[in-house]
Amino acid sequence: MALFPIFILILIAPSSTNAQWPPSPGYWPSSRFRSMSFYQGYRNLWGYSHQRVEQNALTIWLDRTSGSGFKSVKPFRSGYFAASIKLQPGYTAGVITAFYLSNNEAHPGFHDEVDIEFLGTTFGKPYTLQTNVYIRGSGDGRIIGREMKFHLWFDPTKNFHHYAILWSPKEIIFLVDDVPIRRYPRKSAATFPLRPMWVYGSIWDASSWATEEGKYKADYRYQPFVASYTNFKAAGCSAYSPAWCRPVSASPFRSGGLSGQQYRTMRWVQRYHMVYNYCEDNKRDHSLTPECWG
């Protein structure tokens, strides 16, 4: 008889799996864009000796001597930019693996950037995926970050997963395996990147801030720190496209935005997997981020 109440409790207890894996977004934008090999769209930027291309997959690594980075062959003014990435397990504190848009070489000290960054971690703790947007503000002592951070619903070291940035003149959408995790709408020209940007990827030592605000540093006893990229996608309006080039969309609607189902999925991810939102940080000066309250 004692088993009966236990059975009832199991039936009525909420399932923890509902808070682990996101509901279907109902739309898969990655299927709309053709994959390319690394050399079709990218070139090495730095750390050439720490980069290897095999069977359309790029491997880059960091050790005591260098990290590595790559860059798209052309700049874009809008588009869908993605890669499937696999991260290194174990101790990776202080190490940043990144996939991002930037015009830092065209506008040094005054550039725009849209980031997907994986913040390295210590044993037994998950990676943090950091998304960030900043506009005309690096190298001048007034970097205004717009960070939202997530702990993913899977282990990004086990398999490749697809990470994407959709950038149009009216919004930026970050996606993981076609699941939208963040939408950053254009509310003013002052808070939105509009100048052409290139696509970059890199692995580097950011021990001063990457892991728990710099508490844990890169430990080169665990070198090399390796990241693999494949299934590259970069489609949209390049900086050289005609004025009539139409921005691509991450939703079923050509006009952009997200469908109702995509919005619900994004809100679910933010409810269960977001660990930091700059707009909710009371230590921040939100007069510098008017999009939080505008």
Q: In the predicted model, is pLDDT for residue 2 greater than 60? A: no
What is the pLDDT averaged over residues 197-218?
96
Of 10, 35, 19, 17, nearest to 232 by C-alpha is 35
Which residues, in sequence order, are CB contacts of 115 under 8 Å at separation 6+? Answer: 98, 100, 101, 130, 131, 132, 133
- The pLDDT of 174-185, averaged and rounded, is 98
pLDDT above 70 for 294: no
* Residues involved in catalysis: 113, 117
- The stretch 204-215 carries a mean pLDDT of 95
Determine whether 213 is exposed, middle or buried from the number of CB atoms within 10 Å of its CB (0-12, 13-18, 19+). Answer: exposed
Residue 239 CB-density burial (10 A; 0-12 exposed, 13-18 middle, 19+ buried): middle
Query: In this structure, what are the phi and psi dihedrals at residue 51, rounded to the nearest 5 degrees?
Result: -145, 140
Strands (E) across the chain are located at: 42-46, 51-54, 57-62, 68-72, 76-86, 95-102, 113-119, 128-134, 148-150, 161-168, 171-176, 179-185, 198-205, 225-238, 274-277
**Average pLDDT for the chain:** 91
Q: Is the pLDDT of residue 275 over 60?
A: yes
Token readout for 198 is 């290139």
Terminus-to-terminus CA distance in the chain, angstroms? 59
Strand-strand pairing, 225-238 and 57-62: antiparallel
Q: What is the pLDDT of residues 141-171, one digit of tens each?
A: 567 889 999 999 999 999 999 999 999 999 9
Strand partners, 118: 97, 129
3-state class (DSSP) for residue 81: strand
Length of the chain, in residues: 294
Residue 74 amino acid letter: K
pLDDT, tens only, 14-66: 333 345 889 999 999 999 999 999 999 999 999 999 999 998 899 999 999 99
Q: How far apart are CA 174 and CA 163, in angstroms?
A: 8
Q: Which residue has the tokens 């995790």?
A: 181
The whole-model pTM stands at 0.92
Percent of the chain, pLDDT > 90? 84
CB 146 within 8 A of CB 278: yes
Cβ proximity of 191 and 114 under 8 Å: no
pLDDT of residue 98: 98
C-alpha angle 118/124/125, rounded to 5°?
35
Q: Coil, strand or helix: which one is 206?
A: coil
Mean pLDDT calculated for residue range 76-88: 98
Residue 17 has what pLDDT? 39
| Whether the predicted pLDDT of 6 surpasses 90 | no
Give 236: exposed, middle or buried? Use CB within 10 Å, 0-12, 13-18, 19+: buried
